[in-house]
């Protein structure tokens, strides 16, 4: 019960990596607010986790590209459950797959809006409240290995993930004096809806599995352990770091 007494908020938790993190947080005793655009998916996840860990998960719809909805999410969280001391920025989008020079302007704007501005707005909402209330916090941003290396055919997405790495390093410095830690998780390929095109296309997935020392992609649960560690007091002296969870992929070849 490493997160007992803590309130956490996980974005993009109606499936995939966010769902796995929310379940692990609930198992460790946290109260977990889960957010994404569609309430139906969130409610199903909340019901499933609450069946195992009663009264631990609270769903709330929020588009992380819309500032008014982000403001409403964090006001609601503070007023009804408590200000989150753990924030996992995980909801992201990748609407365009192809050569970077051909990226449609709308896809560029949407990717930055959700993946960068949305992450920053959520951090600002949490950090300002924690500072006002004199509480410590742990902010965990989900980036990608494509934030650390070239991302052919996913160029703008890779840029947003690199921006998340930079955001984490800077905010760790600026928020450290308030005992608010900021760390970044960089997963490799994980079997989710988000990555289904790659996982389900042998031509793409083989490029990954051939290079990966473990010879496979990950399941969402394999990303949750590091999130629990970073959320818990076990990581109390850890901030401003990136944690690559990729089966050794970027280290190989």
Ligand X SMILES: NC(=O)c1ccc[n+]([C@@H]2O[C@H](COP(=O)([O-])OP(=O)(O)OC[C@H]3O[C@@H](n4cnc5c(N)ncnc54)[C@H](OP(=O)(O)O)[C@@H]3O)[C@@H](O)[C@H]2O)c1
Question: How many angstroms separate the most distant Cα atoms in the chain?
Answer: 52
Among 2, 29, 37, 76, binds ligand X (CB under 6 A): 37
Using CA atoms, how far apart are residues 155 and 152, in angstroms rounded to an integer? 6
Interface characters, 96-135, with ligand X (x: CB under 6 A): ------------------x---------------------
Q: Is 192 in the site for ligand X (CB under 6 A)?
A: yes
Instruction: Tell me how many residues contact ligand X (CB under 6 A).
Output: 29
Q: Is 156 in the site for ligand X (CB under 6 A)?
A: no
* 242-245 vs 86-89, strand pairing mode: unpaired
Give residues 40-79 in contact with ligand X (rule: CB under 6 A). Answer: 41, 63-65
Helix (H) or strand (E) holding 138: strand 137-142
Asked whether 138 and 184 are in contact (CB, 8 A), the reply is: no
Residue 112: count other Cβ atoms within 10 Å of its Cβ.
Answer: 17
Among 83, 144, 184, 205, binds ligand X (CB under 6 A): 144
Name the residue with the smallest CB distance to ligand X.
16
Using CA atoms, how far apart are residues 85 and 218, in angstroms rounded to an integer? 28
Q: Is 148 in the site for ligand X (CB under 6 A)?
A: no
- Which pair of tokens denotes residue 204? 């793409």
Among 17, 26, 171, 224, binds ligand X (CB under 6 A): 17
Using CA atoms, how far apart are residues 6 and 53, in angstroms rounded to an integer? 15
The nearer residue to ligand X, 112 or 229, going by C-beta atoms, is: 112
Asked whether 78 and 58 are in contact (CB, 8 A), the reply is: no
Q: Is 12 in the site for ligand X (CB under 6 A)?
A: yes
Q: Is 16 in the site for ligand X (CB under 6 A)?
A: yes
Q: Is 189 in the site for ligand X (CB under 6 A)?
A: yes
Q: Is 247 in the site for ligand X (CB under 6 A)?
A: no
- Which pair of tokens denotes residue 13? 């938790």
Residue burial 199-218, b: 16+ Cβ < 10 Å; e: rest: beeeeebeebbebbeeeebb
The nearer residue to ligand X, 110 or 131, going by C-beta atoms, is: 110
- Which pair of tokens denotes residue 35? 């957010």
Instruction: Give the residues across from 31 on adjacent strands.
Output: 7
The nearer residue to ligand X, 8 or 142, going by C-beta atoms, is: 142
| Known catalytic membership, residue 157 | yes
Using CA atoms, how far apart are residues 117 and 13, in angstroms rounded to an integer? 18
Among 85, 93, 103, 121, binds ligand X (CB under 6 A): 93
Q: Is 190 in the site for ligand X (CB under 6 A)?
A: yes
Among 18, 137, 155, 168, binds ligand X (CB under 6 A): 18
The nearer residue to ligand X, 30 or 190, going by C-beta atoms, is: 190
- Which residues are catalytic, by number? 157
Q: What residues make contact with ligand X under the rule CB under 6 A? A: 11-18, 36-38, 41, 63-65, 90-93, 114, 142, 144, 187, 189-190, 192-195
């Amino acid at each position: 019960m490493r997160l007992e007494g803590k309130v956490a908020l996980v974005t993009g938790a109606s499936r995939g990596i966010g769902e796995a993190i929310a379940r692990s947080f609930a198992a460790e005793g946290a109260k977990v607010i889960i957010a994404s655009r569609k309430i139906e998916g969130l409610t199903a996840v909340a019901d499933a986790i609450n069946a195992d860990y009663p009264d631990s998960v609270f769903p709330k719809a929020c588009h992380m590209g819309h500032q008014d909805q982000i403001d409403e999410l964090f006001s609601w969280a503070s007023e009804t459950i408590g200000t989150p001391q753990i924030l996992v920025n995980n909801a992201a989008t990748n609407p365009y797959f192809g050569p970077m020079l051909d990226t449609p302007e709308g896809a560029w704007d949407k990717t930055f809006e959700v993946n960068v501005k949305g992450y920053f707005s959520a951090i600002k909402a949490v950090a300002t409240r924690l500072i006002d209330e004199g509480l410590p916090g742990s902010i965990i941003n989900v980036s990608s290995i494509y934030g650390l290396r070239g991302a052919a055919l996913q160029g703008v997405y890779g840029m947003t993930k690199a921006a998340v790495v930079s955001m984490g390093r800077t905010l760790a410095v600026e928020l450290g004096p308030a005992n608010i830690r900021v760390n970044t998780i960089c997963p490799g390929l994980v079997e989710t809806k988000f990555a289904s095109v790659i996982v389900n296309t042998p031509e793409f997935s083989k490029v990954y599995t051939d290079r990966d020392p473990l010879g496979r992609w990950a399941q969402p649960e394999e990303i949750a352990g590091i999130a629990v560690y970073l959320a818990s007091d076990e990581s109390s002296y850890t901030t401003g770091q990136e944690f690559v969870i990729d089966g050794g992929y970027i280290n190989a070849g």
